[in-house]
Structure 1
Amino acid sequence: MALDTFAWKPAYTSSGETKATVNVFSFGDGYSQRAPRGLNNVADTLALVFRLDAATWQSVDAFLRAKAGATPFLFSLDGGPQRKYVCDDWKPTKEAPNLYTVQATFTQVFTNQQ
């Protein structure tokens, strides 16, 4: 089964972080060697902000609840490459009668799901 795509666009106040995980082997005299930890050792974490009307917020909430923080989905930030993410943390704030600000954390995952 094909992965679903998260199609909603975040606000420009969103941010991200890329982290490379490495093994560091320290030897005497300050010498060390570094090696990537695993095949996919560079991953992104995105702190996204969405400004949505009530109907769109309900659609986003339904999408994220259906994935339950465990099922990956595809997402592309600003037209970049599509990558697989999970979201197990999102926080809506009602700003006005028909306006929600939603903060969500997308964590890149590496799976064999297509």
Structure 2
Amino acid sequence: MEFIWKPDLGAEKSKKPSVSTVKFNDGYEARIPNSINPSLRVWNCTFTNNLQTANEIDEFLNKANGTTAFDWIDPQGKKGKFVCREWKMNQIKFGVFQITAVLEEVYE
């Protein structure tokens, strides 16, 4: 499955590396990654489209159901596997709908 839609300008990428930290009394700290891919991309995106396109996006995300990973090329041009566990759709004016979605990178 490939997510083909491009987000609106202003998509936001965040990363929070997954690490384990051990702190000692003297201020010393040791850190190790929790996995071989500890820093995954998370994109907060908005898609503003007509009803037909918004319904296509909504249907795609419903079909993936937050469990099936899909291919997506992010706004920086980097391809990866992503899941979308959360999205919402709002009507912003007559015939124009906005979907906000959180696309999370995964490795399979």
Q: TM-score, normalised by structure 2?
A: 0.93
1:103 aligned to which of 100, 104, 108: 100
Q: CA deviation at 1:79?
A: 4.9
Q: CA deviation at 1:97?
A: 2.1
- 1:16-71 deviations in Å (ceiling 9; x for gaps): 10111111122231111111111110111111001011110111111101100100
Q: CA deviation at 1:106?
A: 0.8
* Alignment check: 8 A CA contact 2:11 2:75 kept: no
**Equivalent position of 1:42 in the other structure:** 39
Residue 78 in structure 1 maps to residue 75 in structure 2: yes
Mark the CA change 1:22 to 1:79 in structure 2 (over 3 Å): closer, same or farther: closer
Of 41-50 and 71-80, more deviation after overlay is shown by 71-80
In percent, how many aligned pairs have the same letter? 27
Q: Give ranges in structure 1 of 5+ residues lacking alignment.
A: none
Q: Give ranges in structure 2 of 5+ residues lacking alignment.
A: none
Give the number of aligned pairs. Answer: 108
Residue 23 in structure 1 maps to residue 20 in structure 2: yes
Q: TM-score, normalised by structure 1?
A: 0.88
Moved over 6 A (4+): none
